[in-house]
C-alpha cells in the first residue's frame, strides 16, 4: 500500500457467497466512500461536494446477489480519488508536475472532460484539486489501487468461467436523476427519466438474450428501462465482455432518485424494495446463463 494512505489498505472488499457460487460476478467500482485525509487536504472541495461522483450505496443495493451465489467486488476508495472504470493511464498532463509516461493516454474524450483515471472535476465541472499533483502520486495510486482491483476482478471472472464455461459480469453503477431517456428530441419519451440504463456496448459486450432477461425482470417490477443511452458501458464492460468466448459483461446504471435523497445522500424508503428487485434480477440472470453454459460445453 502506498505510504500516506493507510485508510485504503485493503483497497477493496470481496463478499463471497457461503453456498454454491453462481456464473455471475458483481463489480461495484464507484461505491467506495473512504476518503483519505491526505486527499481531502489537497482538495479545494469539501467531502460532501466530492461525493457527487460517488455511486453511493450501490454495493449495498446489489449485495442480495451474493445470496444467489454471485461474488461482489467493491472498491473502498472513491471514484474522485481513482477511477478503475478507465484505462489504467488515462491521465491529463495539465494536472501534474513532471512528464507523464509515454504510454499514458492523454487525449481520450474522458481525459478532455476531466474524468480520466485520476479525475480533475466532479459534479458540474467543479475542479477537485487546489494544486498540481506529482506524477509519482498518480503512478502510486494506479499501482496501489487500480492494478490490485483489476487483478482481483480478473481472478473472479476466470474462476467463474473455469467452473461454468460461461459467465456474466454485472458492473454496478448509479446515475443522477437528471439523466433523460433516449427517445427522439421533443417527444414525450425524451422527457421521461430512465429508472435503469442497461449498457452492453451496443451488443458487443453481452449477448442480447441475456440483456433481454435483465430488462424483462426490471420492467416486470415497474421500472422504466433504456439501453445504452446515455450509458453504453465503460472500460470494465468493454474490456471484459467477449460474448464469442462466452464471457459477458453488462453495465447497470440505477437512477439515484429510486433509492436515495440526492441532497443528503441518505437512503430512502424504497431502498430495500429496490435491493430485493435487483437480487431477483441476479437470480434470473443466473438461470438464463445456464443456457449459455450448455452452449459453451458443446
Domain with residue 114: its CATH number is 3.40.630.40
Query: What is residue 143's DSSP assignment?
Result: I
Per-residue confidence at 191, pLDDT binned at 50, 70, 90? very low
Identify the CA nearest to 41 among candidates 155, 128, 149: 128
Per-residue confidence at 185, pLDDT binned at 50, 70, 90? very low
Residue 108 exposed, middle or buried by CB count within 10 Å (0-12, 13-18, 19+): middle
Q: Is the pLDDT of residue 265 over 80?
A: yes
pTM (2 d.p.): 0.93
**Rounded to an integer, what distance in angstroms lies between the CA atom of residue 231 and that of residue 172?**
12
Quote the number of domains for the chain.
1
Q: Is the pLDDT of residue 291 over 90?
A: no
Q: Is the pLDDT of residue 91 over 60?
A: yes
Question: Does the residue 178 lie in any domain?
Answer: yes
Per-residue confidence at 3, pLDDT binned at 50, 70, 90? very low
Give the alpha-carbon dihedral of 15, 118, 258, 254, to 10 degrees.
-70
Question: Which residue segment(s) compose the domain that 163 sits in?
Answer: 6-297
Question: Does the residue 1 lie in any domain?
Answer: no
Q: Is the pLDDT of residue 102 over 60?
A: yes
pLDDT at 187: 46
Question: Does the residue 220 lie in any domain?
Answer: yes
Question: Does the residue 283 lie in any domain?
Answer: yes
Q: Give the cell for residue 148.
A: 490490485
pLDDT at 297: 61
Give 20-36 pLDDT, tens digit per residue: 789 999 999 999 999 99
Please name the residue ranges forming H helices in the chain. Answer: 37-42, 47-50, 58-61, 109-112, 135-141, 147-164, 188-191, 208-220, 235-240, 271-297
Higher-scoring residue by pLDDT: 271, 186: 271
Per-residue confidence at 2, pLDDT binned at 50, 70, 90? very low
Question: Does the residue 230 lie in any domain?
Answer: yes
Please name the residue ranges forming H helices in 7-93. Answer: 37-42, 47-50, 58-61
Question: Does the residue 218 lie in any domain?
Answer: yes
pLDDT at 19: 83
Per-residue confidence at 192, pLDDT binned at 50, 70, 90? low
Cis before 178? omega within 30 = no
Question: Does the residue 229 lie in any domain?
Answer: yes
Question: Does the residue 132 lie in any domain?
Answer: yes
Amino acid at each position: 500500500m502506498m505510504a500516506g494512505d493507510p485508510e485504503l489498505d485493503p483497497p477493496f472488499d470481496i463478499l463471497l457467497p457461503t453456498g454454491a457460487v453462481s456464473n455471475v460476478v458483481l463489480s461495484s467500482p464507484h461505491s467506495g466512500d473512504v476518503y483519505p485525509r491526505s486527499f481531502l487536504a489537497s482538495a479545494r472541495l469539501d467531502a460532501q461536494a466530492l461525493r457527487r461522483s460517488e455511486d453511493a450505496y450501490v454495493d449495498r443495493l446489489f449485495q442480495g446477489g451474493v445470496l444467489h451465489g454471485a461474488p461482489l467486488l467493491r472498491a473502498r476508495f472513491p471514484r474522485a480519488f481513482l477511477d478503475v472504470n478507465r484505462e489504467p493511464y488515462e491521465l491529463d498532463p495539465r494536472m501534474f508536475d513532471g512528464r507523464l509516461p509515454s504510454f499514458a493516454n492523454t487525449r481520450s474524450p474522458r481525459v478532455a472532460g476531466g474524468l480520466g483515471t485520476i479525475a480533475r472535476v466532479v459534479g458540474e465541472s467543479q475542479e477537485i484539486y487546489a494544486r498540481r499533483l506529482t506524477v509519482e502520486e498518480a503512478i502510486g495510486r494506479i499501482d496501489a489501487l487500480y492494478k490490485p482491483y483489476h487483478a482481483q476482478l480478473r481472478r473472479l471472472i476466470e474462476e467463474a468461467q473455469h467452473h461454468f464455461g460461461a459467465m456474466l459480469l454485472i458492473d454496478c453503477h448509479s446515475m443522477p436523476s437528471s439523466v433523460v431517456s433516449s427517445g427522439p428530441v421533443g417527444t414525450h419519451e425524451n422527457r421521461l427519466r430512465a429508472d435503469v440504463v442497461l449498457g452492453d456496448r451496443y451488443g458487443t459486450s453481452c449477448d442480447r438474450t441475456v440483456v433481454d432477461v435483465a430488462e424483462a425482470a426490471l420492467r416486470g417490477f415497474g421500472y422504466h428501462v433504456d439501453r445504452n443511452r446515455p450509458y453504453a458501458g465503460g472500460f470494465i464492460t468493454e474490456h471484459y465482455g467477449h460474448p464469442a468466448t462466452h464471457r459477458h459483461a453488462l453495465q447497470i446504471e440505477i437512477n439515484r432518485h429510486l433509492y436515495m435523497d440526492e441532497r443528503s445522500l441518505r437512503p430512502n424508503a424504497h431502498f430495500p424494495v429496490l435491493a430485493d428487485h435487483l437480487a431477483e434480477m441476479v437470480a434470473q440472470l443466473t438461470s438464463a446463463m445456464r443456457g449459455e453454459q450448455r452452449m459453451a460445453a458443446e
